[in-house]
Structures are given as structure tokens and as C-alpha cells.
Structure 1
């Protein structure tokens, strides 16, 4: 009897341990599957993260390229606007207007009527104004900036004896980017060069004034802000002394 009871207990323990072994095996398999799934998931997340970062980098590069192109187009448009203003000034300069247009028309008519050109030139040459100073003359030019250094950036007075030019601080748009034209609210540099090459520089916020002597002439110059990108220079040339 005791031997049968012992055998029964041993078989019971074997069944228990068999079940425990099977459960452990199942848990091991499930753990392996879970670990493998975790590793696969981690690799997929890393791959997805890498793709997202690459896509973000591409989008950022495309955005930067578009912004640079927009800025280039804006600068091109500004340059074209300045050139259009230069053509307008050239047209006004080369086509007589006002009193000069009337005198030009009168001279053309007299020549057509057969008046001797030399006699007409003599009469005009002998005509004088009793004033000691010539009538003030106003000219304008595009004030250069570090962004724009094109044409029409200087004017001359006293038969070319005095050259006026300078430099301004670029204006900024609402986004903070620099424009091609100068900011009239910021200090500017105005340079005056005489016939001997001597340069006088005046700094400050417009308007600015400067007097100088060139040969037998005294030149009084006033520089003020004009239309966008332009400064206007009024010069009065007087006899000296």
C-alpha cells in the first residue's frame, strides 16, 4: 500500500512539473515573440523617425530656397523701379521744358526764318543778368547704398567743377530685410569733390548744406531728400570774391 501511494504522488509531481515546464515554455515563447516584436517596432520607429527628419530637412531647404528666390525677385523689381526713375529723369533733363522750352522754340523759329546763327549767338552771349549769383539750379541723383551702386549716382555744378555724390543706409521693409534705396530718416554721407580733387564729406540727417570755393566761384549747395532713392541738390553759383 505504501508503495502505491508513493508512485501516485510521484506521478502527480511529474504532471505538476510537466505543466510548469509547458507553462514556462509557453511564457518563454511568448516572451521571445514579444521581444522580437518590440525590436521590430523599435526599428520601424527609428526608420519612420529618419524618414520624417529627412522630409523635414527637404522641406526646410525648399523653404529657404523659395525665400532666397523671393528676395532676389524683390531686389530685381526694386532695381527696375530705380532704372525707370532714372529714365524719367533723363527724359526731363534732355527734353526742354518751361522757360527753356520757350527759348528753344524761339531760337528754332528764328533759325527757320533765316536769322544768322552767329548773330543770334552774339546777342545771347551779350545778354547778362546784373545779379552776382546765377539762378539756383536743382538736380537730383540716386543716393548709393551697399545694395545699389548703379548709374545716375552723382551730379555736377559750376560747369562740372563740383561733383556731388554720397552714400546712405538701406531702408528696411516690414520683414526687416534691406531695400535697395536709402532710408531718409537715417544719417547719410554726402561728398563734394572740387576740380583739384579735394573731397569734403558732410555727415548727418538730411537736409544738409555745404559751401565751397572753386576758382572764381562760390558754390552754395543744399542737399535734401527727394523721391524714393533720390536726393535733390540745389546749387547757387556766385562770383567770388
Structure 2
């Protein structure tokens, strides 16, 4: 009886030791796996931290580069705006406008036509505000129309030096029929002819203005509608230049 009981207890203790060993081995295994996993997690976190730090550093460099580029572009834009303002001011100062632009175009056309630049400069330099002019002379004449073409119509100025003629469109009566006199509400054409064949033509609705230089005199004409069928012309004759 004593021997059987002893064997039973010994086997029990042996099983307990084996179970404890297994438990310890299993705990060690679990602990080892846990520690390994923890270490792997730490390493991964370290790797991610390094990667994030590198990405942050890259983004910071890119941000700095973009800020520098933006600053350079702003500086370039301000420089361009200042340059544009300078060019606009220079354009306004140097490019002629208004009456000066007309005179510049006229001088350019005269030079292209072959007039000597020295002569043109002399003429301009001799122009004065106060001019030597004769009293204005006013006359009137009838305009030719499609129904009034026959006969000589016109007036002369400067003892026949300049002849003025013209033509217009026929007026219409209440019935819509054309009349022999011109319609002052329609464009007319006035021709000024000087001795030697020099001419000037102006077209439009009255009143009109035109000038012609003949010899050493400049004739300035003003044309206005007068009594039916007539045009009144006023001529100023001044020494040229």
C-alpha cells in the first residue's frame, strides 16, 4: 500500500513538473513572440519616423524653393509693371497726339513726296501767330447738279488766281421729284484750282473748310449754304509762309 501510494505521488509530481515546464516554455515562447513583435514594431516605427522625417525635410526644401520662386516672380512682376509704366509715360511724352500727330503725319507725307527737308524746316520756322492777311472776301456761286450742268458756275479770288467750283445732289420737292438746285443736307464736292494747275478738293456736308497755297499766298476757304442753289464762300488770303 505504501509503495503504490508513493508511485502515485511521484507520478503526480512528475506530471506537475512537466506541466509547469510546458507552461514556462509556452510563456517563454509567447513572451519571446511578444518581445519579437514589439521589437519589430519599434523598428517599423523607427523606419516610419525616419521616412516621415525625410519627407518632412523634402517638403520643407520644396516649400522654401517655392517661396523663393514666388518672391522672384513677385519681384519680376513689380519690375515689369515699373517698366510698363515707364514705357507708357515715355510713349505719352514722345508719341505725338492730337494736332501734333496730324502735323507729324503731314510732315512725313511731304518728305515722302520728295520735298526737301531743309525747305520744309524753313517753311515751318517762318510760320507766325500773327500773319500778314488781307481782308476776307466773300462771294457766292451756284453748284452744279444732275439737272443743272450747263454754263460756267464758280467764282474767282486773287484777281483770277484761284477759281472755286462745285457740285451737289439735286433737292427733291414734296412730290419726290428732283429739282435743279442742290440739297444742302447732302454731301457736296468743292474744287479749288489755282494758276498752274494746283488743286484742292473737299467733300462733305456744308459747312466745309479747305486751304490752297498758290505762289506766295495761302487761301483759306469757308463754304456754307446760302440762298437756294447758292453756296457762300469766304476766302482769307495771307502771305505764305
Please report the TM-score for the alignment, with normalisation by the length of structure 1. 0.45
Bigger CA radius of gyration: 2
